[in-house]
Amino acid sequence: TDYGSSLTVSLPAALRPHQPFQIIVRYTAADGPAIWWLDPELTYGNAKPFVFTQGHSVCNRSFFPCFDTPAVKCTYSATVKAPAGLQVLMSATQSTYLEEEGVYQFYMEYPVPAYLVALVAGDLIHADIGPRSRVWAEPCLLPTAISKLSGMVERWLTAAESLYGPYIWGRYDIVFLPPSFPIVAMENPCLTFIISSILESDEFLIIDVIHEVAHSWFGNAVTNATWEEMWLSEGLATYAQRRITTETYGAAFTCLETAFRLDALHRQMKLLGEDNPVSKLQVKLEPGSVNPSNLMNLFTYEKGYCFVYYLSQLCGDPRHFDSFLRAYIEKYKFTSVVAQDLLDSFLNYFPELKEQCVESKAGLEFERWLNATGPPLAEPDLSQGSSLTRPVETLFRLWTAEPLDSVAAASSVDLTKWRTFQTVLFLDRLLDGSPLPHEVIKKLSECYSSQLDSMNAEIRIRWLQIVVRNDYYPDLYKVRRFLENQMSRMYTIPLYEDLCTGTLKSLALEIFYQTQNQLHPNLRKTIQQILSQGLNPLPAIDTTAVTADTPAMVLEDKVSEATNGAISLRDVNVSA
């Protein structure tokens, strides 16, 4: 299968206990879920081929022989030979380049799980953006990356260190990948991978990078021992991310971003149902039956975050909880843990809470947090963000009031002066209410369409989804124009799903046949599957070198079939 079969090596009977030994496995890595080959046309520069790997969760077994479980950590070294003119990078603490031989050598001196071994090669150049950070990108993208991140990463690292202790990985570099990268970002140690498409959306870029910075402590240094408890990395990293943004951008901004994500969590809950087992923090996996990447959903992040936030509130002061997390990192760094390790450490660190039996508080039992389906048992107080969220709520009420008699007041709002997260929160709520009365969608377009045209892709795709779900024909040309210029999953799949759910499948087919050659074979295959639903098989499309579609952003097949996949895909489009 795409995810391999086990290799069993019998050790010599004469081998003494604990005696060191070496195993050499000679192998060839064919096309597989971890390795993404790109022709030059699929890069921004269109000049040179490109390759990157994506190991999360269990893909790296198609890259190299390994114990592909987060419970096992080891150091690694690698020797990579590449053609002249291609820069090779890996998630390693040390690297050298022998120019005469065209050989790169890498070494990761700290133990990491297999999924954090990553490689990228292509037409990449770099610039320093801080004392221990540099950004790598294709030449045409580097100036934008510098302008967005210069000085910022060091600010975020310093804030994280003040909360959770020293950054232990040495360098924190970032490489921007072509739009074929199947997720938004990946926390590979020393070298965060980020999709280039996010560069135009400043606030999303900030959150995505800070989330990956937080993983340097939660996920990379201390790792969940089993994919059944992925929240131990993602929930803690999301909590740490929001502590960092509170320190650097204030509580109001953090509460706004949290409100946006929790809205998405409840949207996903409506789709899946409150008794769906994937909504548990401790998901039970039958060995070999489910790809853990299918569990990359908002429960892992936001329900996990809510539990961690609840623990912090038990302490009375978030700074006391910060101190606990520093001690937790120091105790368990370079190891893998289960939930009980975290919770036992928490109760031992705060003996007064243990005496109060907080783990058994009625309705908020730790066991219930971990194993109950449905929404979080408690959610954070976001009132500190009311200065940013209240205008969104007011404007939404104006547009959804019956009868629509407040157009003048609503149209006076200048969305160009709003934060991105305010605008996407407003548009997401309009999406939830679609289809809207024709009069409403017509007035919305008259008021905001031209403003939204000049905004970033995170905002534009939401408006275009509203256009599609409401069959608003005057703005359909903007949908075509958007899809003609997008090559990433995050900005194509939601629109194709919406087009095919409604009455506009013929438009989707037309756009796809015009643009398919600019899409990665994996993405092309996914869109073809969307277009094929309810139709006779589509004409054969050249999918040379198609590999198994990396499922990092998709829920289980039975879930996506039974629900409106467009919403679910948008809502789980989050950083790893």
Single out the catalytic residue among 301, 305, 472, 491.
Answer: 301
Does 56 carry a binding-site annotation? no
For 23-79, give the secondary structure using H, E and C.
CCCCCCCCCCCCEEEECHHHCCCCCCCEEEECCCCCCHHHCCCCCCCCCCEEEEEEE
Nearest in space to 343 (alpha carbons), one of 320, 362, 360: 360
Radius of gyration of the CA atoms of the chain, in A: 24
Catalytic residue, from 138, 187, 203, 212: name it.
212
Residues 188 and 116: their CA atoms lie apart, in Å, by: 5
- With b for 16 or more beta-carbon neighbours within 10 A and e for fewer, the 361-391 pattern comes to eeeebbeebbebbebbbebbebebbeebbee
| φ and ψ at residue 109, rounded to 5 degrees | -85, -15
Active site annotation includes 249: no
Other beta carbons within 10 angstroms of residue 276's beta carbon come to: 18
Q: What DSSP string runs through 232-268?
A: HHHHHHHHHHHHHHHHHH-HHHHHHHHHHHHHHHHHH
Q: How far is CA 502 from the centre of its chain?
A: 28
301 is catalytic: yes
Q: Show contacts of 142-146: CB within 8 Å, 24+ apart.
A: 144/199, 145/174, 145/176, 145/199
3-class state of residue 507 by DSSP: helix
302 is in an annotated binding site: no
Closest CA to 231 of 221, 218, 244: 218
Contact assessment for residue 346 and residue 311, using Cβ atoms and an 8 Å cutoff: yes
Q: Residue for token digits 């971003």?
A: 257
98 near 115, Cβ under 8 Å?
no
Which run of H or of E encompasses 127? Answer: strand 125-130
State the Cα–Cα distance between residues 232 and 226, nearest whole angstrom. 10
Q: How far is CA 497 from each of CA 258, 292, 454, 481, 500, rounded to the nearest angstrom?
A: 26, 24, 24, 17, 5
List CB contacts of 367: < 8 A, sequence separation 6 or more. 359
Which of 303, 307, 306, 316 lies closest to 350, judged by CA? Answer: 316
Q: Which residues neighbour 387 within 8 Å (Cβ) at sequence distance 6 or greater? A: 252
3-state secondary structure of 106: strand
How many C-beta atoms lie closer than 10 Å to residue 164's C-beta? 24
Please give the C-alpha separations between residue 370 and each of 279, 282, 379, in angstroms, as whole numbers: 10, 5, 15
Helix axes 251-272, 231-249, angle to 10 degrees: 150
Nearest CA-CA partner of 72 in 225, 292, 230: 225
**Which residue positions form the known binding site?**
211, 215, 234
**Which residue positions form the known binding site for Zn(2+)?**
211, 215, 234
Positions marked catalytic: 212, 301
